[in-house]
Amino acid sequence: MAESVYKVIELVGTSTESWEKAAAAAVATASKSLSDLRIAEVVQLDMQIEDGKVAQYRAKLKVSFKYHQGDD
């Protein structure tokens, strides 16, 4: 197997329904502009609260994708 290099970026996804949907939204959006997504690690979960109620779930992810020569 040839050697490979992967780049890791951080993303924050949001959802009004759940942390799972927030994480999935981040991956779905990233997949539109990045190719060869490999691993997504949830590193932090939090919530935005308004008037004593959860307004948004937020999931912070580290996402890796295969690095190709010429990528920034």
Residue-wise pLDDT tens digits, 47-66: 999 999 999 999 999 999 98
pLDDT category, 72, cuts 50, 70, 90? low
pTM, two decimals, is 0.83
CATH topology (fold) of 6-66: Dodecin subunit-like (3.30.1660)
Provide the residue ranges of all domains of the chain, joining segments of one domain with +: 6-66
Q: What is the mean pLDDT of residues 26-53?
A: 95
Is pLDDT at 70 greater than 70 in this prediction?
no
Residue 66, Cβ neighbours under 10 Å: how many? 14
pLDDT category, 71, cuts 50, 70, 90? low
- Residue 32 sits at φ, ψ, to 5 deg, of -75, -25
Residue 30 to residue 13: CA distance in whole angstroms: 10
